[in-house]
Chains A and B, each alone.
Chain A
Amino acid sequence: MIEARRTRRRLTLAVLAVFAVVVIFSVRLVDIQVVRADTFSKIARQQTYPATLWGTRGDIVDANGTVLATSVDRFNITAAPDMVESDFDRVEEVDGTKTRVKVSLQQAVQEIADLTGADPAELTTTLTEDPDARFVYLVKSVTLDVFRAVRDLDIPWVYSEPQPARSYPNGAIAGNLIGLMGTDGALSGTELKWDECLASTNGEVQYALSADGVRLPGSEVVEKPAKDGGTVHLTIDSDLQWFTQQALAEQGTAIGAKWGTAFVVEIKTGKIRAAADWPTIDPNDLNSAKAEDAGARSFVAPYEPGSVIKTATVAGMLDAGVLTPTTQFTVPSAYTKGLPVGAEIHDSWLHDTIRFTTAGVLVNSSNIGIGQMTELMPLKQRIEYLKAFGFGSPTGADFLAEDDGFVRSVADTDPVTAVTQQFGQGMTATSAQVASLYQTIGNGGVRIPLTLVEGCEHADGTWTDVPEPEGTRVVSEKAAKQTINILENVVTNYHLGPTLAVPGYRIAAKSGTAEVAKNGVYTSDRIVSVVGMLPADDPQYAITVTFAYPTTIMSSRAAAPTFNAIAKQVIKTFRVPPSTEPAPSIPLTW
């Protein structure tokens, strides 16, 4: 009985001990898991490592969303030379059993070379040059497939890093507009001009590692999210762009020209639907064009445009009311009035005195006739008209390093230039500015600055639009209409007419054959162009074609077939309805 009571007492003591232990445990647990939890989890969190979250650079797309430039993932294969040994063991599975195979350094290098196409000797040099180096690049920018294959080689000293790269799925289409990307950033063109929109920001993620270096799943904490770049929407139609580039290349090669440009501009909006340069660069391959051809001459290379400027002169005079399309001029064989002694202005063909109307002067492109017209308007006003048409100032397309061209001030204009700049010599313009002139005329005299970029679509879907350009009236609607009607006669009543005409469509055009000056002296080199618009009864598209330094055909005849081909393509692409009425005939002579 005493025994039993003693056992009972001892048991109670044991139970009390259990509860005491539980109390101690609870206090301790609360202490570690609640009170001091922050301290401990802070230590735990110190075991995290940073990694870069790569943002994706935005695309450049055309008006229809066709991707012209995009980002792709590439990988750099790197190595740690200080870890390189003469051989290493690799576990290989042969017939379902895993065996260790010795792989020599030479063998490993050969395997990498086979997969990446690198030179094995060069790889070996890179690896062995500085045996203490911890990091070298073996092969840069390999594709995912190659990267995986190299990784599967299980070479212990081979590592990798992601390397975002740029790809241009449509190759050379609009290559000169898009520009180039270097390894450290944008180099030229839209890539550089719109870098702010396109550029991505890399973020940072912190992750925890296991004791043996494995990244713990679910342990990633994004400290700074990566920001993807936005998409730049061009106004370009990539199919039309391709066609104009192709047309330029064909004709440019045939006539032995040095370079060529072509524009298609939507007259009502000023949007550039095609801006072609030849020679063309494929941004995928930096060696596809010479350095001087890599940019977009259409925007950055001003030249003396020649007779295509006569349109601006006549339109300005019509606007000012100093002449009408039928004003009569008696055009002599040379123009000397007001010029220094010995200076003469000739036409491109020899003639005796001819009786031209205003229309006749413009259609036949008489320099002497234009000279006579200058007498009807003071120099200051003539220069104002040229400037109002956009010469000497940006087109609004806002292309990188776009050139403003050059128009002299009244004070700087010598008597010869005062006349010649009215037919495009002694002043300079880019192809874009010429296109802008014909847009203005086609648009009833209202100049709408050109646009090349619709806007920037940010990664979150919001847009930053390029502000809608504001039109400014340069000449009256009547003057513009009269000018167009005169220019239609170039197609109907001029020797280039049959080459330019598209049956069923009224087309207004102007040719130009400019002399190229070298060191202040005009040479036998020519820059030839045909510029115009269609359909003339309701102008929709302005088209320019320019070739520099042709060798087989030295006149604007060289550009005419290309203008015609592009005109037909524009009609097809945009389904331009045919004209309903024939072109009015204006007397060219009297």
Chain B
Amino acid sequence: MVLSSSSIESWVSDGDFFARASRQAILALIGVPLMLIAARAPRSFWRRWAWHLIIGALVLQAVVVVVGAGQSLYNNNWLYIGGFSLQPSELIKLGFVVWLALVVTRVAPIINDWRRADWREYALPLAPAVAGIMLVMLGNDLGTTVILAAMVLGSLYFGGVRLSIVSLITIVGSLGAAIAVQASDSRSERFAVWFEGCTDIASRYCYQTLQGWQALGDGGIFGVGLGNSTAKWSWLPEAETDFIFAVIGEELGLIGALLVVALFVVLAICFVRIIRRQVDPYAKLATAIAMIWIIGQAFVNIAVVLGLLPVLGVPLPFISAGGSSLVTTLLAVGIVLSFARHDPRAREQLR
């Protein structure tokens, strides 16, 4: 789908229909072996390297924020090294999977008993999480911020923190988010448009959503066929990344779109099964966080295309073009697979 949806704009910018698709293919060739290697990691590996990973990611993100500050009003969460560009915020998500699980399993009981505990006992361990969210927010990436926040809240939820506390944090976070949205013109406009509903194609923030709907409507039930999308002809912005679902819906129709949703549901069921079979709370929680990341991001992406959420700008995991996202999500799957391999029952069968 990346090939189909990116071919035209790829030609326009690079003079090669396959430029973006082949970049994606190369990163898939890197990502899949990495996932398989990660799946072979020993039981304690992730626990040992969790802190290294999260701190490394946070440092890179801090570099991005410092270097990129003021460069662009738009999302500048990119780090350019040599000919490569990467998004450290994706690394933070990966770091959250292994690190949040580690921290939350330890501090959850303390939080539940917060009246008797010293605030430093639970607040300090969680500081990197808040730091990560703040750094990404400074990078002006609303979508990733939302996903990171969801991962933190999800870890608390699945980590067994009392619902009243989770709700409280959620409410406080939402208020903070509302203030942050109001502070930025582009964000507040996007939300305003979403609340009022999109009818005028000329409106700046409606254009993308309406183009997406037109693509979907054009596709109908059976779609216009692979490669036949008209939206991808520079009409639909981000056709190969954040709005790839619209192109899928146009070329493969309602059936193709529902199939993509169904595949993510299947993935969710796999995650749930793995969680249920795990006995190790760390593995349980890490898998749950990975699930929130991947499934949550997929659902946010689709909801944006369908106009159920304002335009947030998150890619569709595994499907959208984007190297950092692809490699890190594959690694997350690899991590979950490594837990699954160490599941006692699985071990029995493997033996």
Contacts and interface: CB of A to CB of B under 8 A. Distances in A.
10 contacts: A7-B158, A11-B276, A22-B261, A25-B308, A33-B216, A34-B254, A37-B220, A209-B233, A210-B233, A212-B12
A276 B268 CA distance: 89
B247 to A, nearest CB: 13
Nearest to A212: B234
Contact of A40 (B216, B233, B308): B216
B154 to A, nearest CB: 8
A10 B288 CA distance: 11
A411 interface: no
A29 B234 contact: no
Contacts of B257: 29, 33
A26 B269 CA distance: 18
Contacts of B228: 218
Contact of B233 (A6, A22, A28, A216): A216
Nearest to A6: B160
A214 B268 CA distance: 42
Interface stretch (B54-62, B126-134, B298-306, B321-329): B298-306
Interface in A1-58: 3, 6-8, 10-11, 14-15, 18-19, 21-22, 24-26, 28-30, 32-34, 36-41, 43-44, 47
Closest 6 CB pairs of A and B: A40-B217, A210-B233, A211-B234, A44-B214, A37-B217, A33-B254
A29 B306 contact: yes
Given A7-B160, A36-B217, 10 more contacts: A11-B158, A11-B272, A18-B295, A21-B303, A28-B308, A29-B249, A32-B216, A33-B221, A212-B234, A216-B233
A503 B262 CA distance: 97
B32 interface: no
A409 interface: no
A218 B228 CA distance: 8
Which secondary structure dominates where chain A touches chain B?
Answer: helix
Which secondary structure dominates where chain B touches chain A?
Answer: helix
Contacts of B233: 208-211, 214, 216
Interface of A: 3, 6-8, 10-11, 14-15, 18-19, 21-22, 24-26, 28-30, 32-34, 36-41, 43-44, 47, 208-212, 214, 216, 218-219
A29 B217 contact: no
Nearest to A27: B306
Nearest to B212: A32
A44 B213 CA distance: 10
Contacts of B306: 25, 28-29, 32
B258 interface: yes
Interface string B197-226: 000010000000010011111111100000
A38 B220 CA distance: 9
A494 to B, nearest CB: 83
A25 B220 CA distance: 15
Contacts of A219: 230
Contact of B214 (A7, A19, A29, A40): A40
A33 to B, nearest CB: 4
Nearest to A35: B217
A208 B230 CA distance: 8
Contacts of A40: 213-214, 216-218
B93 interface: no
Contacts of A18: 265, 268, 295, 299
A3 B234 contact: no
B293 interface: no
Contact of A29 (B235, B254, B268): B254
Contact of A33 (B217, B261, B288, B291): B217
A44 B228 CA distance: 14
Interface string B237-267: 0000000000001000110011001100100
A39 B217 contact: yes
Given A11-B158, A210-B8, A211-B234, A44 B218 contact: yes
B275 interface: yes
B33 to A, nearest CB: 30
Contacts of A29: 216, 249, 254, 257-258, 261, 306
Contacts of B262: 22
A272 to B, nearest CB: 56
B96 interface: no
B157 interface: yes
A40 B275 CA distance: 42
